Amino acid sequence: MMTDKSKVNELDEKQIEQAHLDDVVDKIKKSENQLREHMDVAEEDLKVINNAFDDIHLGMDGDAISMDAALSIHQQQQMLDERNNSWQQSRQRLSILKKLEKTPFFARLDFQEKGEPKRETVYIGLSSFTDKNDHFLVYDWRAPISSIYYDGKLGDVEYQTPDGLQSVNLFLKRQFLVDGGKIKAYFDTQETIGDQMLLEVLDGKSSTHMKGIVKTIQSEQNKIIRDTKSKLLFVQGAAGSGKTSAILQRIAYLLYQYRGTLTSSQVVMFSPNSLFNDYIKDVLPEMGEQNMVQMTYKQFLARRLPNLKVESLSQQFETVVDSESKNIGKFVADVDFFKTLTNYSKLLDQSGMAFKDIKFQGKVFIPKEKIQEIYYSYGEQYNLGNRIDATVDRLIKMLHRKIGAEMRSNWVSERIEDLSKEQLQALYTTADQEFKNGDEEKRFLARKIVTAMMQGVNKNIKHLRFLNVATNYLNFLKAVPKIVDLKKYDITITQWNQYVDNFIQNFNQKQISMNDLTPYLYLYDLITGKHGELDMKFVFIDEIQDYTPFQLAYMKYKFPRARYTMLGDLNQSIFTKKNSQTLLSEVQSLFETDETRVIQLVHSYRSTKQITDFTKAILTNGQKIEPFNREGDLPNLLMAKTEAESVQHVIGQVKENDKRKYTTAIIAKTLADAEHLHELLKAKNVPSTLIRSENQRLATGTIVLPSFLAKGLEFDAVIMWDASKDKFDEDEQQLVYTIASRAMHRLTITSIGELSQLLQRVPAEDYEIEQNV
Ligand SMILES: Nc1ncnc2c1ncn2[C@@H]1O[C@H](COP(=O)(O)OP(=O)(O)OP(=O)(O)O)[C@@H](O)[C@H]1O
């Protein structure tokens, strides 16, 4: 209990803080005004320069341009760029100040540096703000000193500065809840970020876009955010433990830390699907930073093979694999297979590379045997990359010689004779081009015609179309049983041959599976000698459990100089199923041990304690999960006898959720299930939006979506549709877990007839059964 006196003190204290906040807001507003004036001036300048530009252009007659005018244009252009930049910067700063104006700071630290006589007080906010004497009124949350807000306890603490470790004695850590410039409450906390503040934040409603978490970053998350040493930072985190949140803050941190040397285009994030991209796209801009490059792994690869159709998410998810194919699936997804392919490519240095004829007008122009001869005429000191460059040079020279020969062929003379006046004019360099004699003119025209005709051949050579990548890949697949002892992987020769046949069949229909796509492109890169993207500095891979070790090895090859942050939840492997448990060790094998750091996040922040307890019980052999203490209803199970009854249950639950202002996502196992349910709801006049593909946007209101699109997302309320007996196989517990763990406040399970075996093992006290709703 607080005494009356301390209450009075607290009131006074709050007023003092409010007065300070008002003062800071005042200064921010002044600063905004100055910026606006500055922008007005820059805009005026831009207009003046632009007008002057027009004058110069008007002053130029014809194409004769004087040296003076050229210089003047150059100067004007420079001035234009400068003013433009300064205008852009002011605009950016202004938008940050606008945010700061609403919540100038969210924390305060009182401390004394070792060896300094005085105590200091600093305030922490979204961005630094200084008054005119360069005195810091607010420190950026990413500044070195701010880390003690997230990390340490009170007392002696340390933080990292550019000059090394700094020790301070921390007396006070205060958090503010600010809304519209008013301090609603403040909490003094002893430890790291207090639970009270976090509870306030987590109790809020979900939206179609993710929010930032700067005010309440947890100390374990802070480790991820501020790591600048590791080459590989591997984060295993339970569902809802803030992995995605932490990496977005990490990107903001890195952009701040390496300001001037790192741009947002040197940071790439691979995310599970495009829906998810849309979901997180506001987080960085809201922190005043630009978004990184963002794509899905499939987009990254498929853009290179526009003529091949790559298996879709839904196909990938719904393909039923028998145990034989599982072994092969595992084998071709492994790091060992990556190494096998790498070694095979070295053999191609000596012999065996397959080529295609270069054709011209449907006829063989340079036969593949000739190309092969050229290719292997280069000695051992050549590798695949410069061997191909040398071959291209030779082929282009051959092409030029062929142009000379071809000019004398009959079809060229005939073509020249048939040329109309207009066509002739188009070929001449100038309208009144003169020639010594008819022969010279004919030669000129013949060269023009043949060169134009050969343009295609020229392009094909330069684009390496003479390489037969498909045949090379096929040769490799066929050679596999000779290079690898397939028995070790429980694969028979017949099974392997069947697999190769399938690949061919698919390929002939211009289709390729996700599993085959990466090895195919890897071989492509090896034989064309393509370098990776050397400029990429940070690569983030979310939902790592859905990648195969082969794919990760390939990424490392594509971005050889980057630092990697990989995060995921081995409990949520919905595409690779059980194989993922060994993923960590396979990934680690790609990096040096002393460059690798593994961090585990075990606290789940998304869901109420009741929901987390329920979801935890689904996993028989899962990673560690600890619920955060936020209370809510027990998950409810609605059991129906018929489908019609179950639909009524869903409708009833949606209504109840609506009353509580919860948005509901109804998650069905497959796309077909989701479509079917959507129809059933429509027939009952219950409005809902069906999310059918990853290219759609999340809508507000009730949505229906298949499980594989729910990845990474969260909703106030989740209804799991049709968790009936035999709906899920034993090895699909991770999928069931993923679906259930999307719920923040309310989780409902429906079943028709008996309940799924996977849910029967959840202890009865973890949920309520409602038979007739
Ligand atoms: N430190 C924090 N402060 C406030 N909210 C947090 C914090 N950490 C996580 N959250 C919230 O918890 C929820 C889950 O976070 P996030 O989506 O980042 O988790 P995740 O580990 O990526 O989950 P999943 O693996 O299930 O996709 C989000 O609503 C996020 O805002």
Instruction: Cite the annotated binding site for ATP by residue number.
Output: 237-244
Among 348-362, 588-602, 646-660, top mean pLDDT goes to 646-660
Lowest mean pLDDT segment, chosen from 29-43, 65-79, 143-157, 439-453: 65-79
CA of 415 to the centre of ligand 1 (A): 70
pLDDT at 3 over 50: no
Q: Are 654 and 704 in contact (CB under 8 A)?
A: no
What is the model's pLDDT at position 773? 45
549-558 helix and 335-347 helix, angle to the nearest 10 degrees? 50
Q: What angle do CA 503, 505, 506 make, to 5 degrees?
A: 65
Ligand 1 atom with least separation from CA of 239: 26
> Which one of 247, 605, 744 would you pick to mutate in the ligand 1 pocket, going by the greatest count of ligand atoms within 8 A of its CB?
605
Q: Is the pTM of this model over 0.95?
A: no
- φ, ψ (nearest 5 deg) of residue 722: 60, 60
CA of 627 to the centre of ligand 1 (A): 12
Q: Residue 503 falls within a domain, yes or no?
A: no
pLDDT tier for residue 497 given thresholds of 50, 70 and 90: very high
Ligand 1 atom with least separation from CA of 742: 26
What is the model's pLDDT at position 523? 94
What is the model's pLDDT at position 772? 53
Read off the tokens for 385: 């990359």
Average pLDDT, the chain: 86
Structural domain ending residue among the three candidates 581, 604, 627: 604
pLDDT at 256 over 70: yes
CA of 679 to the centre of ligand 1 (A): 33
Q: Is the CB of 571 under 6 A from ligand 1?
A: no
Claim to verify: residue 742 and residue 667 sit in the same structural domain: yes
- The helix (run of H) or strand (run of E) holding residue 676 is helix 671-683
Q: Which of the pair, 649 or 54, is modelled with greater confidence?
A: 649
CA of 202 to the centre of ligand 1 (A): 9
Determine the structural domain holding residue 751 and report its residue range: 612-770
pLDDT at 574 over 70: no
Read off the tokens for 546: 């859905």
Range 4-15 average pLDDT: 72
Claim to verify: residue 585 and residue 664 sit in the same structural domain: no
The pLDDT tens digits of the residues spanning 590-627 come to 888 889 999 989 888 999 999 999 999 998 876 778 88
- The helix (run of H) or strand (run of E) holding residue 656 is helix 643-659
Lowest mean pLDDT segment, chosen from 259-263, 433-437, 549-553, 601-605: 433-437
Ligand 1 atom with least separation from CA of 215: 3
pLDDT tier for residue 660 given thresholds of 50, 70 and 90: very high
Number of structural domains (the chain) is 4
Claim to verify: residue 626 and residue 753 sit in the same structural domain: yes
Interstrand relation of 603-604 and 626-627 (parallel, antiparallel or unpaired): parallel
Q: Residue 338 falls within a domain, yes or no?
A: no
Q: Residue 565 falls within a domain, yes or no?
A: yes
Claim to verify: residue 375 and residue 403 sit in the same structural domain: yes
Ligand 1, atom 8: closest residue by C-alpha: 242
Q: Are 221 and 243 in contact (CB under 8 A)?
A: no
Claim to verify: residue 595 and residue 622 sit in the same structural domain: no
Claim to verify: residue 617 and residue 753 sit in the same structural domain: yes
Q: Is the CB of 201 under 6 A from ligand 1?
A: yes
CATH code at position 561: 3.40.50.300
What is the model's pLDDT at position 342? 94
Q: Is the CB of 741 under 6 A from ligand 1?
A: yes
Q: Residue 202 falls within a domain, yes or no?
A: no
Q: Is the CB of 519 under 6 A from ligand 1?
A: no
Ligand 1, atom 15: closest residue by C-alpha: 242
pLDDT at 306 over 80: no
> Which value, to the nearest 10 degrees, does the dihedral of the CA atoms of residues 417, 420, 426, 428 take?
40
Range 502-513 average pLDDT: 89
- φ, ψ (nearest 5 deg) of residue 112: -130, 125
Q: Are 324 and 495 in contact (CB under 8 A)?
A: yes
pLDDT at 570 over 80: no
388: left (phi over 0), alpha (psi -120 to 50) or beta: alpha
Closest CA to 736 of 762, 769, 699: 762
Q: Is the CB of 603 under 6 A from ligand 1?
A: no
The pLDDT tens digits of the residues spanning 151-205 come to 868 889 888 888 888 899 999 999 998 888 899 888 887 755 556 778 877 877 7
Ligand 1, atom 24: closest residue by C-alpha: 239
DSSP E strands: which ranges in 602-739? 603-604, 626-627, 636-640, 664-668, 689-690, 703-706, 715-720
Q: Is the CB of 607 under 6 A from ligand 1?
A: no
Q: Are 680 and 706 in contact (CB under 8 A)?
A: no
Claim to verify: residue 669 and residue 762 sit in the same structural domain: yes
pLDDT tier for residue 65 given thresholds of 50, 70 and 90: low
Claim to verify: residue 600 and residue 647 sit in the same structural domain: no
Q: Residue 625 falls within a domain, yes or no?
A: yes
What is the model's pLDDT at position 191? 57
Interstrand relation of 232-237 and 107-113 (parallel, antiparallel or unpaired): unpaired
Claim to verify: residue 620 and residue 591 sit in the same structural domain: no
Lowest mean pLDDT segment, chosen from 235-249, 298-312, 543-557: 298-312
CA of 213 to the centre of ligand 1 (A): 8
Range 413-435 average pLDDT: 81
CA distance 211 to 200: 14
Ligand 1, atom 1: closest residue by C-alpha: 217
Q: What angle do CA 706, 708, 709 make, to 5 degrees?
A: 70
Claim to verify: residue 659 and residue 728 sit in the same structural domain: yes
CA of 460 to the centre of ligand 1 (A): 50
Claim to verify: residue 48 and residue 117 sit in the same structural domain: yes
Instruction: Cite the annotated binding site by residue number.
Output: 237-244
Ligand 1, atom 26: closest residue by C-alpha: 239
pLDDT tier for residue 255 given thresholds of 50, 70 and 90: very high
pLDDT at 74 over 80: no
Ligand 1 atom with least separation from CA of 738: 26
What is the model's pLDDT at position 248? 93
pLDDT tier for residue 55 given thresholds of 50, 70 and 90: low
Q: Quick one: 19 exposed, middle or buried, by C-beta within 10 A (0-12, 13-18, 19+)?
A: exposed
Q: Is the CB of 606 under 6 A from ligand 1?
A: yes
The pLDDT tens digits of the residues spanning 700-754 come to 899 999 998 988 899 999 999 999 998 998 878 889 999 999 999 999 999 999 9
CA of 732 to the centre of ligand 1 (A): 24
Structural domain ending residue among the three candidates 440, 463, 486: 463
| Single-letter amino acid, residue 751 | S
Distances in Å between the alpha carbon of 610 and those of 238, 628, 722?
Answer: 15, 10, 21
pLDDT at 63 over 60: no
CA of 636 to the centre of ligand 1 (A): 23
Q: Residue 764 falls within a domain, yes or no?
A: yes
DSSP string, 163-227: TEEEEEEEEEEEEEEEETTEEEEEEE-SSSS-HHHHHHHHTSPP-SS----GGG--HHHHHHHT-
Q: Residue 353 falls within a domain, yes or no?
A: no
% the chain with pLDDT above 70: 93
Claim to verify: residue 67 and residue 134 sit in the same structural domain: yes
Structural domain ending residue among the three candidates 415, 433, 463: 463
Lowest mean pLDDT segment, chosen from 45-59, 389-403, 489-503: 45-59
What is the model's pLDDT at position 731? 79
CA of 218 to the centre of ligand 1 (A): 11
Task: Give the 3-state secondary structure of residue 540.
Answer: strand
Q: Residue 330 falls within a domain, yes or no?
A: no
Range 628-642 average pLDDT: 92
pLDDT at 44 over 70: yes
What is the model's pLDDT at position 435? 81
Q: Is the CB of 272 under 6 A from ligand 1?
A: no
CA distance 616 to 607: 11
Range 497-519 average pLDDT: 90
The pLDDT tens digits of the residues spanning 268-293 come to 999 888 888 888 888 998 888 888 99
CA of 149 to the centre of ligand 1 (A): 19
Q: Which of the pair, 773 or 616, is modelled with greater confidence?
A: 616
Q: Is the CB of 615 under 6 A from ligand 1?
A: no
CA distance 213 to 252: 12
